[in-house]
Structure 1
Amino acid sequence: MGESVLLTSTPPEHKESVIVSSAPQSRPWDVHRLPSAEGRNFLVTGGNAGIGYFTAEQLAATGALVVIGSRNPAKADAALASIRSRVPGARVRHLHLDLADLSTLKSAVDGLALDLGRLDAVVHNAGGALDDPPRRETEDGHELMFGTNHLGHYALTRWLAPLLSAAPAGRVVTVGSFAARSERLDLDDLQSTRDYRPKRTYGRSKLAQMCFGFELDRRLRAAGSTVLSAVAHPGGALDSLTPPRPPVGAPTPGERLRGLPAALMVQGKDAGAWPVVRAVLDSDVQGGQLWGPRVFGLRGQPRREPVPAHMADPAVAARLWAASAELTGTTDPHLGFR
């Protein structure tokens, strides 16, 4: 997509595809008419499926180069093919990225740096969710969900710092979860070694991500960095309400039918990506903000939300940061941002 093209010729069956507009951003935000982002580079971790996929698809329609970070080449290739089939001229590529193996992150980012030179935004989206015991661990011996969802992104941010700082106004957008609202961190058992319950451990790993996103912005401001850090969440996003993207994902007719009653309160993953995309693109977004769906934080157009007190507690965040630094072997209190 070398020119600032409007996707006004989108076929009828592609009506949910994003339309790029060069109109001034003083107008109300429209999820179907996103501002052009030609010349910018975005990385979406876990962009091969779910919220990450739709974030990548929507960002690709703005003319930006979108890099999908994924540890599964086959799934990444399927996502790239799907985006290219829906977004004419899409500039998308794959970066092999395994957040569960911290030792591989620096070399992955080094390769990205050689190709791009700068990164305008990273979307910390990738993550795992386990439904049943037993407790599992990453390559580094960390509990799998906490290690992948939080520690992997914490370490990745450290290596991405020079690329983000090289952009005129870099952004780190951390994707949290509505589930984090009802959780509290156990700072003495971050790895769930004493009491492992999969759903609670998942919620706490997402809470750790969100606390990190807010604390990162405080440290970026203290360092005088031009990079900002914001947090977004998709609300309630169900596969059964998500438009099909074969072979990436396609709910069966039965699944879609069973999901219809839930549409009164929640939405599909395409709409779940809207707050994330706005946090990446909207020039009015500021560091330390939280973005989510308008209706009860579960569905609808993206809007700014108040930050819950337990996510913004600086004392809790400082302890989490110190523990994360120790567990990932990071010593720089600003993660390399200057």
Structure 2
Amino acid sequence: MSPTSSTPWDVHRLPRARGSVFLVTGGNAGIGYFIAEQLCATGATVVLGSRVPARAEAAMTSIRSRVPGARVRAVRLDLADLSSLGAAVESLGVTALDAVVHNAGVALDDPPRRETGDGHELMFGTNHLGHFALTGRLMPLLSAAPAARVVTVGSFAAKSERLDLDDLQSRRDYRAKRTYGRSKLAQMYFGLELDRRLRRLGSPVQSVVVHPGGALDSLTPSRPPVHVRSLGARLRAAPAALLVQGKHAGAWPAVRAVLDPAVRGGQLWGPRLWSLRGAPRREAVWSQLADTAVAARLWDAGRDLTDIDPGGPRG
């Protein structure tokens, strides 16, 4: 039986979803891998969107070793190459898609500034514009499902950031960590604005925004060869476990947003304790994300830069 709003959510006892098809971008590593592994345990078909086929193969091998009978496959997906997204969606080979989890992301630690082949700053172009355009390509498949969801994975690092709408590509002032935080903030604005536009269209598709809190590799269980945690790393990270968690737990808000019928479009979900660790819960939309004027301007910029409108009218 599917859970209802009155049923406590148990991250270790997920509802069955056999017959559903879910796409997880960046599902070959990190939080995306654990989102895919946990969704596979529901009986659903899970498609890993991955830029590197060998990494996707390693992730699928790991998932199959832990989830007997897992229905998992992969498609090549490069969010930094907007012209390739149509072919990627076609390669899904499905007539309907029950959810997409926008998880993939690029995080650079140091300068210099880099660009995609389309001429966009790499983190903004991949993390935000790539998912913006992918959503537009996927919308016919999502609309064909009875109650599909777009789940956008933001970041707690975005909470302290503000967008510079006059410098979205960080051409004037590039600082890697700030640019990353702003790219994730842009994703979160997009997820909320998408739901507003879908509601106006009367669409059955809902858009939910989540974030993983504080998720560290050193607190993440090993999944060789995808991720291997040494004993030394585990011991050194033990004190941090009071405040943050591993990436397996960072996956929980996204998994709940895909599966729980009590979750609604336009909501923000994150970890229960200080928004950093613990079971997933709904939280108040951050103050900057409530600015619909900024969201609308960002949407217009995304439409102009990609020539796609994910929430536009459809004939």
Q: TM-score, normalised on structure 1?
A: 0.91
Given that residues 225 and 337 in structure 1 are in contact (C-alpha distance below 8 angstroms), is that contact kept between their aligned partners in structure 2? no
2:198 to 220, 237, 246: 220
1:185 to 145, 150, 163: 163
Which amino acid in the other structure matches residue 24 of structure 2?
V
Please list the CA deviations of residues 171-228 of structure 1 after superposition, one character each: whole Å capped at 9, or x if unmatched: 0000000011100000000000000000000000000000000000000001110000
Secondary structure of the structure 2 residue equivalent to 1:182: coil
Given that residues 162 and 336 in structure 1 are in contact (C-alpha distance below 8 angstroms), is that contact kept between their aligned partners in structure 2? no
Given that residues 223 and 337 in structure 1 are in contact (C-alpha distance below 8 angstroms), is that contact kept between their aligned partners in structure 2? no
Secondary structure of the structure 2 residue equivalent to 1:303: strand
Q: CA deviation at 1:335?
A: 4.3
Comparing 84-93 with 251-260, greater Cα deviation is found at: 251-260
- Number of aligned positions between the proteins: 314
1:155 to 133, 146, 152: 133
Could you tell me the percent identity over the aligned residues? 74
1:201 to 179, 189, 193: 179
1:273 to 251, 255, 270: 251
Residues 1:84 and 2:56 are matched in the alignment: no
Given that residues 31 and 250 in structure 2 are in contact (C-alpha distance below 8 angstroms), is that contact kept between their aligned partners in structure 1? yes
Structure with more contact order per residue of length (Cα contacts < 8 Å, sep ≥ 6): 2
Q: CA deviation at 1:27?
A: 1.8
Please list the CA deviations of residues 267-291 of structure 1 after superposition, one character each: whole Å capped at 9, or x if unmatched: 0000000011000000001010000
Please list the CA deviations of residues 230-289 of structure 1 after superposition, one character each: whole Å capped at 9, or x if unmatched: 000000000000000000001211111111110000000000000110000000010100
Given that residues 186 and 298 in structure 2 are in contact (C-alpha distance below 8 angstroms), is that contact kept between their aligned partners in structure 1? yes
Q: CA deviation at 1:300?
A: 0.2
Q: CA deviation at 1:23?
A: 6.0
Structure 2 residue aligned with 1:56: 36
1:334 to 295, 311, 314: 311
Distance 1:50 1:67, change over 3 A: same
1:261 to 231, 239, 243: 239
Given that residues 68 and 76 in structure 1 are in contact (C-alpha distance below 8 angstroms), is that contact kept between their aligned partners in structure 2? yes
Please list the CA deviations of residues 55-96 of structure 1 after superposition, one character each: whole Å capped at 9, or x if unmatched: 000000000000000010010000000000000100000010
Given that residues 156 and 213 in structure 2 are in contact (C-alpha distance below 8 angstroms), is that contact kept between their aligned partners in structure 1? yes
Residues 1:324 and 2:299 are matched in the alignment: no
Please list the CA deviations of residues 97-142 of structure 1 after superposition, one character each: whole Å capped at 9, or x if unmatched: 0000000001111221xx2110000000000000000001111110
1:164 to 128, 131, 142: 142
Q: Which runs of 5+ in 1 are unaligned?
A: 1-21
Residues 1:73 and 2:53 are matched in the alignment: yes
Structure 2 residue aligned with 1:243: 221
Secondary structure of the structure 1 residue equivalent to 2:75: strand
Which amino acid in the other structure matches residue 311 of structure 2?
H
2:100 to 111, 122, 137: 122
Structure 2 residue aligned with 1:175: 153
Secondary structure of the structure 1 residue equivalent to 2:138: helix
The CA distance in 1 between the partners of 2:312 and 2:222, in whole Å, is 39
Structure 2 residue aligned with 1:37: 17
Given that residues 139 and 310 in structure 2 are in contact (C-alpha distance below 8 angstroms), is that contact kept between their aligned partners in structure 1? no
Please list the CA deviations of residues 119-172 of structure 1 after superposition, one character each: whole Å capped at 9, or x if unmatched: 000000000000000001111110000000000000000000000000000100
Distance 1:86 1:197, change over 3 A: same
Structure 2 residue aligned with 1:282: 260
Q: Which runs of 5+ in 2 are unaligned?
A: none
Given that residues 136 and 310 in structure 2 are in contact (C-alpha distance below 8 angstroms), is that contact kept between their aligned partners in structure 1? no
Structure 2 residue aligned with 1:293: 271
The CA distance in 2 between the partners of 1:228 and 1:211, in whole Å, is 15
The CA distance in 2 between the partners of 1:130 and 1:141, in whole Å, is 17
Which amino acid in the other structure matches residue 78 of structure 1?
A
Which amino acid in the other structure matches residue 334 of structure 1?
G
RMSD (CA atoms) = 1.1
The CA distance in 2 between the partners of 1:335 and 1:87, in whole Å, is 39
Given that residues 135 and 310 in structure 2 are in contact (C-alpha distance below 8 angstroms), is that contact kept between their aligned partners in structure 1? no
Given that residues 171 and 228 in structure 1 are in contact (C-alpha distance below 8 angstroms), is that contact kept between their aligned partners in structure 2? yes
Secondary structure of the structure 1 residue equivalent to 2:91: helix
Runs of 4 or more, structure 1, over 4 Å off, are 335-338
